[in-house]
Homo-oligomer: A and B are copies of this chain.
Amino acid sequence: MKYVYSFGDGKADGKTDMKNLLGGKGANLAEMNHLGIPVPPGFTLTTDVCTHYYNHNLIFPEELETQVVEALKNIETIMDSGFGDIENPLLVSVRSGARQSMPGMMETVLNVGLTTTTIPGLIEKTGNSRFVYDAYRRLIMMYADVVMEKTTGIKLADGQGIRQKMERIIDTFKKENRLKDDTDLSAEQWKEISESFKAEIKNNLGSEFPDNPRDQLWGGIKAVFQSWNGNRAISYRRIENIPDEWGTAVNIQAMVFGNMGKNSATGVAFTRNPATGENHFYGEWLPNAQGEDVVAGLRTPNPLNEDTKTVDTQSLSSLESSMSALYSQLIEIRTNLEAHYSDMQDIEFTIQDGRLWMLQTRVGKRNGAAAIKMAVDMFNEGLIDKKTALLRVKPEQLDELLHPVMDTESEQNATILATGLPAGPGSATGRLVFTADDAEAWHGRGEQVILLREETSPEDVHGMHVAEAILTAKGGMTSHAALVARGWGKCCIVGCSDLHINLEQKEVQIGETVLKEGDWISMNGTTGKIYGGQLKLIPANPETHNEYKHLMAWADDARKLKIRTNAETPADAKQAIQFGAEGIGLCRTEHMFFDDTRIMAMRKMILAENPKERRSAVMELLPYQKNDFKGIFKAMKGFPVTIRLLDPPLHEFMTLTEPQIHDLANHVNLDKSEVEKRIANLHELNPMLGHRGCRLGIVYPEITEMQARAILEAATELTAEGVAVLPEIMIPLVGTATEFIHQETIVRDVAKKVMKEKGITLDYLVGTMIELPRACLTADEIAEKAEFFSFGTNDLTQTTYGFSRDDIGSFLPSYLDNKILSQDPFQSLDVKGVGKLLSMAVESGRKVNSNLKIGICGEHGGDPASIHFCKHNGLDYVSCSPFRVPIARLAAAQAELQIKASKV
């Protein structure tokens, strides 16, 4: 079995499409050889080695040693030097390289091969003893940290790492010798420090720093492979959904040095600007430095060229002006790479003694705006076709254009107070308030507020609405706060269990910090991080972004899946239309009962003693709701509007304080104790599985009747005024065909009456939300009568898994850590379970009713992977919150292209 792939001198065993085996870095190093680009020779240990290593109790395959020795000889030949050779020693780097880039997440060891026996030879060869001892001390520091400490799992008693201790040695040495910078140290001094390092290592870790090139090499290889399972790497994979089984490759490469003097340099560059997408060669370099110096940020790097100089870097010399010939060579390589890879590249180079070496090329990360601009520009330049352009932007990246984001620098310098679940996108800053009423009051005084609650309920909505952002200590990604915030495109962080709220004192304890009402905090809703103080934000304005408009137009051309929105007010509806929504997929009507003037009628209804009283109470709501629906219909300009009839359990309308109970009792002419008894009777042990959804409309048909009438009167009256309307009335939480028929009959009877009364014929649909397993299992029966299905995948996920969204917080983290779940099923649709029910329902529903309109209106409607699944299963539309509409449009286009491609 071939475990080692060599490259160098324009030849290579591997190539760019072997990323799975060689990792991204290894494959591209090989490819650059094929492109005639100068690369220090080296070889790659494949990901198979990693897999073998982990499957065999950290033992390497037998054949590996021989293959490494062979490959090392190839480097020696090309570099005309010897690994461990006393006169002309070869030094190598040992670097990780996974299939997908995991920057900074794994370990590196440089300068391997430098020992007390090879040092003199290298000094002789380079004539630069300071450089050699500097390299030596760097090797010792890295090796001690990465190989001798991390790999062995040794924990030092004082809790400090060996690297820290060595850094302290340097600091002490500098202080004692009154030296300021590392560059001030001489060869002799570095030598002295190296000896101190070795003593410190022996002292703390109990073993000697190896003075043998072979030991150094294999120690480095082991350490890099083992860093695949380091904490940082594991967390990163979890976030990025990278499978643990992939493993990493390891690259061993001849060292080249950018710190060998004035004719040496090192730099990193992007073939285009990764922050703006502009077609400018963009990068940073340092003369006489090693790559790690650029990355570490200890020295301010110079700009690569004149064009990209800023006010801050005006005075620094560019590579373009300092080393113009080499810069020209680099420009050529840039063009070569972009033409070859058809994408923006992130490159690393080193100039050793006037000679340019490329150390890495990979597809460059970019922010959302840049991704869009590059995709559109590259299409215009003829580098890529439209399909590729569409597939090149991650749908989530559009988010950055739709919400204010935090200024990166401001965020990097701020202290993280706590981290919660990133429930609502964008960033925000504001002054802390602890109740919805306070939020309104402070906002009324012109203050920018952030509302902090244990968890939110529908009664907090007025405060949530005026707040810049919402922060809760409890709840998950689909808690009330999260749902409402996402609907508004509002920054929101939930389930932040580090917050200990003292509502009476209006203060919150976060670790050691105590914040009071009025204190400033800032939140990054995309990462879930919470900062103290007022951080700088960058506002959003996608419509001014020309390339965005192009890309979205292409997406709309490419997709067939319709995109609707979840909206319940005219303002939301208008916002969604602006974002390209083609209808409302879910208009919840709960809020239409909650308004101060209305909730009294609702409460009267709940307390009514007989159907007549109940009817009279509920009918008080008719004019209000009719008006609400008119507003929404108008905003939607004839697009379909799916209205869900009342869904939540009645006790949600009855969370009352003592005085409120008193008032209510007076109002309805009942004893206070009687009202209390009725409220207590509404209590449910599991309200999610209780008296809600269509179960309300069946027990209290008056509610269904009133809502149907409000919708249909609004629709007919607008039709009479010449406004186009298309209502789709949705019965919630149906589990049996009989439930649907019961409610449908009421709706159709009302419709007939209203149309007769108004003398107007109206197109309208009656359908149901499919959100229970039983609805999926009996979809054929339901589809005989229903005109549309809308999958409520939030509730469907709850019942399929038996997970309460509100309570999942106590075990979800453990489930993710233990790999019981690979991701939160409320965020991305569970294909195997929930997805199977969905597929069954689509198939059996369409079998009896080929005209059945099918959509999805759960939170998954805005998740690209779930959108792909919906498209694959033949849904007609997905519906998501207004701010996810552009994301869904692009994701739908991508799904269309990918499914088409997979069928060819």
Contact = CB atoms under 8 A, between A and B. Distances in A.
A814 B687 contact: no
A819 to B, nearest CB: 7
A699 B807 CA distance: 14
Interface string A480-517: 00000000000000000000000000000000000000
Contacts of A777: 800, 832-833, 836-837
Given A691-B811, A778-B833, A832-B777, A820 B736 contact: yes
Interface string A750-792: 0000000000000000000001111001100100000000000
Contacts of A814: 698-699
Interface string A640-669: 000000000000000000000000000000
Contacts of A690: 804, 807, 810
Contacts of A830: 774
A819 B778 CA distance: 17
Nearest to A797: B774
Interface string A829-847: 0101110110000000000
Interface string A55-94: 0000000000000000000000000000000000000000
Given A699-B811, A773-B833, A777-B833, A801 B686 contact: no
A286 interface: no
A735 interface: yes
Contacts of A400: none
A891 B862 CA distance: 51
A266 B796 CA distance: 63
A837 B837 CA distance: 10
A688 B689 contact: yes
Contact of A686 (B686, B733, B810, B836): B686
Interface in A804-836: 804, 806-807, 810-811, 814-815, 818-821, 830, 832-834, 836
Interface in A425-470: none
B802 A733 contact: yes
A832 to B, nearest CB: 5
A365 to B, nearest CB: 31
A34 B818 CA distance: 77
Contacts of A578: none
A685 interface: yes
A3 interface: no
B686 A804 contact: yes
A509 to B, nearest CB: 13
Interface string A593-615: 00000000000000000000000
A801 B774 contact: yes
Interface residues of A, number: 49
A689 B686 CA distance: 8
A668 to B, nearest CB: 20
A802 B735 contact: yes
Contacts of A804: 684-690
Nearest to A820: B738
A833 B735 contact: yes
Most buried by B among A690, A698, A821, A834: A690
Contacts of A693: 802
A479 B815 CA distance: 30
A795 interface: yes
A605 to B, nearest CB: 15
Contacts of A686: 686-689, 804, 806-807
Nearest to A735: B801
Contacts of A772: 800-802
A352 interface: no
B778 A832 contact: yes
Contacts of A373: none
Interface in A691-747: 691, 693, 695, 698-699, 733, 735-736, 738-739, 742
A803 interface: yes
A509 B847 CA distance: 55
Contacts of A815: 695, 698
A818 B689 contact: no
A799 interface: yes
Contacts of A778: 832-833
Nearest to A798: B689
Interface string A663-689: 000000000000000000000111111
Nearest to A815: B698
A26 B742 CA distance: 35
Contacts of A810: 684, 690-691, 699
A733 B689 CA distance: 17
Nearest to A683: B807
A685 B806 contact: yes
Given A687-B686, A690-B807, A735-B833, A799 B773 contact: yes
Contacts of A774: 800-802, 830, 832-834
Nearest to A682: B810
B795 A773 contact: no
Contacts of A799: 689, 773, 799-800, 802
Nearest to A803: B689
A798 B782 CA distance: 20
Nearest to A689: B804
A698 B820 contact: yes
B807 A684 contact: yes
A807 B810 CA distance: 24
A311 to B, nearest CB: 52
Contacts of A695: 811, 815
Contacts of A798: 689
A798 B738 CA distance: 18
Contacts of A821: 736, 738
Given A689-B807, A772-B801, 5 more contacts: A685-B807, A690-B807, A691-B810, A773-B800, A774-B832
10 contacts: A689-B798, A690-B807, A695-B815, A735-B802, A736-B833, A739-B820, A742-B818, A772-B802, A774-B801, A777-B836
- 5 closest A-B pairs by beta carbon, nearest first, are A689-B804, A686-B804, A774-B833, A690-B807, A773-B773
